[in-house]
């Protein structure tokens, strides 16, 4: 009958009964199905349902299932531009992945966190995310770490070209779609005028030599043509 709000209320009530009856798995399945049912019409409610499901799984120490549901919630929060909440959700995801020692996924969550923080115009929080991730085994010196350092450097220098190059790299473009879009739409503050590249010593020497030669030519005619 397409009466989704009423259906969701009944599913939530059923899940509470399942929990009281000592069948948390069935409660979690019911809540997740409710989230999928409502996601396209009421993403805010879907986020709540996915977070509830994650809590049930986490209480049962089924961390893999819990973190998958948190991931769904995080992506919906990003899609809805609820970036403050998305940052917190991603941090919880990363903590669980670290607990289960899935370190490569921690690196990806750090990239997502940094993109969210930069869209929140919070460079300090983005930098702190990277700094804290140095404690994750294998992160320091990884492809992810190098790319994030380049991204932060470009953002701090207001170098839009450098930021765009990093965000258009395969590492960023092939993330979950919601995070890839954050990367592609990331703009540096201040209009993003690229700073001039520093003059190399060789160029400087050439310039000086050219200048000296020109000065000599000027000296030949310093007294005038006559």
Secondary structure (3-state) at 73: helix
The confidence score (pLDDT) of residue 197 equals 44
The confidence score (pLDDT) of residue 2 equals 86
Please name each of the domains of the chain with its CATH number: 1-61 (no CATH), 83-189 (1.25.40.10)
Please give the structure tokens belonging to residue 138. Answer: 């294998």
The confidence score (pLDDT) of residue 66 equals 96
CA distance 176 to 77: 13
The confidence score (pLDDT) of residue 205 equals 45
Q: Is the pLDDT of residue 193 over 90?
A: no
CA distance 153 to 157: 6
What are the DSSP calls for 137-175, one per residue?
TTTTTSHHHHHHHHHHHHHHTT-HHHHHHHHTSHHHHTS
| Spatial CA neighbour of 53 closest among 26, 81, 74 | 26
Q: pTM for this one?
A: 0.81
The confidence score (pLDDT) of residue 147 equals 97
Average per-residue pLDDT in the chain? 88
Q: What average pLDDT does the segment 118-147 reach?
A: 96
> pLDDT class for 223, splitting at 50, 70, 90?
very low
The confidence score (pLDDT) of residue 192 equals 58
Please give the structure tokens belonging to residue 39. Answer: 């996601």
Q: What are the residues whose beta carbons fall under 8 Å from the beta carbon of 12, sequence distance 6 or more? A: 31, 34, 49
Burial class (CB in 10 A: 0-12, 13-18, 19+), 209: exposed
């Amino acid at each position: 009958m397409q009466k989704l709000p009423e259906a969701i209320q009944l599913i939530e009530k059923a899940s509470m009964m399942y929990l009281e009856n000592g069948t948390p798995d069935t409660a979690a399945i019911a809540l997740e199905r409710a989230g999928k049912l409502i996601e396209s019409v009421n993403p805010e409610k879907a986020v709540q349902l996915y977070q509830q499901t994650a809590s049930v799984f986490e209480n049962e120490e089924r961390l893999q299932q819990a973190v998958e549901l948190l991931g769904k919630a995080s992506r919906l929060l990003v899609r809805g531009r609820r970036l403050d909440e998305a940052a917190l959700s991603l941090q919880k995801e990363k903590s669980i992945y670290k607990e289960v020692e899935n370190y490569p996924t921690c690196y990806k969550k750090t990239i997502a966190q940094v993109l969210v923080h930069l869209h929140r115009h919070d460079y300090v929080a983005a930098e702190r995310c990277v700094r804290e991730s140095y404690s994750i085994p294998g992160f320091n010196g990884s492809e992810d770490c190098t790319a994030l350092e380049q991204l932060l450097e470009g953002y701090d220098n207001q170098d839009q070209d450098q930021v765009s190059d990093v965000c258009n790299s395969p590492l960023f473009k092939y993330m979950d779609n919601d995070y890839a879009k954050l990367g592609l739409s990331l703009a540096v503050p201040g209009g993003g005028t690229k700073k001039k590249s520093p003059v190399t010593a060789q160029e400087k020497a050439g310039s000086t030599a050219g200048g000296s030669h020109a000065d000599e030519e000027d000296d030949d005619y310093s007294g005038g043509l006559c």
